[in-house]
């Protein structure tokens, strides 16, 4: 298989670059690529990291995963792109510096994007053309706020526009199989309205699922630095994806230490919000189990006097504490995993 300048024959590994745009200084913007072509035929799995430049753990996990793969033991193809946003990596920023755009909102836009397309959309279209042409599975590695418990975001699957309900159910079941195999706690994506409001159908995972590709998004702890335990969990999880896809004839790795003891499915929620400006003091941390009505933080004034206490309306788990001590009215303070009462399948025909 050939991606950019990385051209791997059967039973070999190749490295190279995929050129995605030109820079004002005369060079090309290039994404590093590793292609591992198995000695036997099988599915094609794409693994991507650092779509946000301040999220290096996915890059490190991709490096280690690719380096451990043995082509002679592999059935199928693995394509790794450790750095999807080199402009953001160079500046340690979430966005690219071309125009300050979030790269993970430009996949699968086509004619629905800017006219003419902005540089970041062109970059995303060019790499996504390669992914869409060959991928059976896409694993888009991310991290979240600095204080984050590792988990996997499982997308919802729509039907009615691009596929019927039976086809969508088969895709959903495949994604469920893959996310469970990966081994981190599984948290379903926001509900339908929130997903649409945040344009999450144009993330890499969202676009891939819309195109019928099984895809999901692990959140490997916090941003800015490589978290070794999350990196190791991701490497084991990626290997498990290959095992459950019949690409490796080996036992699966055991579950990670990050699991939740939930009674049912969970979904992402940004909650709760503070009703007063001030300085936040958390009473919980990432990974903690919380009860409905529990006070999770207090907000104090500059003299340290309590202005308000912030409670959660929902039971669940703390995924992340938001960054920064200063908060304003109605600011959210946590990402949480709460009971999910929405189906993983949703009708997109309207």
* The two structure tokens encoding residue 161: 């526009």
Statement to judge: residues 118 and 189 lie in one domain? yes
284 falls within a domain: yes
pLDDT at 113: 64
Q: Express each pLDDT in 312-347 by its tens digit.
A: 999 999 999 999 999 999 999 999 999 999 999 999
Kindly tell me if the per-residue pLDDT of 110 is higher than 80: no
User: What is the count of structural domains for the chain?
Assistant: 2
The CATH number covering residue 227 comes to 3.40.630.10
The CATH number covering residue 308 comes to 2.40.50.100
pTM: 0.96
Statement to judge: residues 286 and 160 lie in one domain? no
* The two structure tokens encoding residue 197: 């409001």
pLDDT at 199: 85
287 falls within a domain: yes
Statement to judge: residues 235 and 307 lie in one domain? no
Statement to judge: residues 314 and 229 lie in one domain? no
Domain residue limits at 320:
267-339
Cα–Cα distance between 71 and 78 in angstroms, integer? 9
Statement to judge: residues 168 and 309 lie in one domain? no
Picking from 131, 95, 125, the residue whose alpha carbon sits closest to that of residue 111 is 125
Statement to judge: residues 15 and 95 lie in one domain? yes
Statement to judge: residues 6 and 45 lie in one domain? yes
CA gyration radius, the chain: 21
One DSSP character per residue, 240-294 reads HHHHHTTS--SPPPPP-TT----SS-EEEEE--B-SS-EEEEES--TT-EE-TT-
* The two structure tokens encoding residue 62: 């991709």
pLDDT-above-90 percentage for the chain: 90
Q: Do 94 and 103 form a contact (C-beta atoms < 8 A)?
A: no
């Amino acid at each position: 298989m050939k991606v950019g300048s990385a051209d791997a024959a059967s039973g070999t590994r190749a490295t190279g670059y995929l050129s995605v745009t030109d820079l004002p200084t005369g060079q090309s913007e290039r994404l590093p690529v590793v292609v591992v072509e198995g000695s036997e035929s099988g599915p094609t799995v794409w693994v991507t990291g650092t779509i946000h430049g301040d999220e290096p753990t996915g890059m490190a996990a991709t490096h280690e995963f690719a380096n451990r793969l043995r082509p002679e033991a592999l059935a199928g193809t693995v394509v790794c792109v450790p750095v999807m946003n080199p402009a953001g990596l160079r500046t340690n920023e979430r966005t690219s510096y071309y125009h300050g755009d979030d790269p993970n909102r430009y996949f699968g836009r086509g004619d629905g994007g800017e006219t003419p397309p902005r540089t970041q959309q062109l970059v995303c279209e060019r790499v996504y053309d390669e992914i869409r042409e060959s991928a059976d599975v896409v694993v888009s590695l991310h991290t979240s706020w600095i204080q984050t418990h590792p988990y996997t975001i499982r997308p919802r699957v729509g039907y009615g526009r691009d596929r019927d309900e039976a086809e969508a159910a088969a895709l959903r079941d495949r994604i469920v199989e893959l996310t469970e195999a990966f081994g981190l706690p599984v948290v379903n994506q926001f509900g339908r309205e929130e997903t649409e409001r945040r344009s999450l159908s144009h993330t890499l995972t969202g676009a891939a699922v819309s195109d019928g590709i099984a895809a999901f998004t692990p959140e490997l702890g916090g941003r800015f630095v490589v978290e070794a335990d999350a990196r190791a969990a991701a490497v084991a999880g990626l290997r498990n994806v290959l095992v459950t896809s019949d690409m490796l004839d080996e036992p699966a790795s055991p579950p990670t230490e990050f699991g939740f003891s939930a009674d049912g499915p969970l979904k992402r929620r940004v909650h709760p919000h503070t009703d007063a400006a001030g300085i936040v003091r958390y009473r919980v941390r990432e990974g903690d189990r919380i009860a409905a009505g529990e006070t999770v933080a207090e907000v104090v004034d500059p003299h340290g006097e309590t202005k308000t206490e912030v409670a959660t309306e929902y039971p669940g788990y703390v995924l992340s504490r938001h960054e920064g001590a200063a908060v304003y009215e109605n600011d959210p303070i946590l990402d949480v995993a709460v009971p999910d009462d929405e189906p993983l399948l949703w009708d997109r025909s309207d």
